[in-house]
Amino acid sequence: MQTALKYQKKSYCPYSKYKVGASVLTESGNIYGGFNIENASYSLTIDAEQCAIACAVSNGEKNLKAIAIAANGAKPCGACLQVMSEFMDKNSPILLIDTSKKGKIAISAHKLKQLLPLTFSAKDID
């Protein structure tokens, strides 16, 4: 959670001003962080969760155990949940760190299957 909060501060969000940080814990025990990187062409924006996951995967870590997301009213979007489902088990914890209250944070824990009950996976392609 500390890594997600640290990366939230690094967010590049000149358009929305919506700072998001994320961190993933891998099966090997490594932690990788990421933050949202906006683009004037919004469709090219990179979400914090996808940034952290891409960092882990680019380092050979494809088995993610958990993810923490820090933002005002932290909630992952559907696209991020789908990316999570590619590398996380349906019972993997997703920790949401709500930083909307100045000086206080609220943490809630969920499982991937609760937030994305109907995943599309490699099994659906075969």
Q: Alpha-carbon distance 48 to 35, whole Å?
A: 4
Contact of 52 with 33, CB cutoff 8 Å = yes
Q: Alpha-carbon distance 115 to 39, whole Å?
A: 27
Active site (annotated) includes residue 49: yes
Q: Which of these is catalytic: 38, 49, 61, 86? A: 49
Q: Alpha-carbon distance 86 to 122, whole Å?
A: 8
Q: Alpha-carbon distance 41 to 111, whole Å?
A: 32
Q: Which residues are the active-site residues?
A: 49
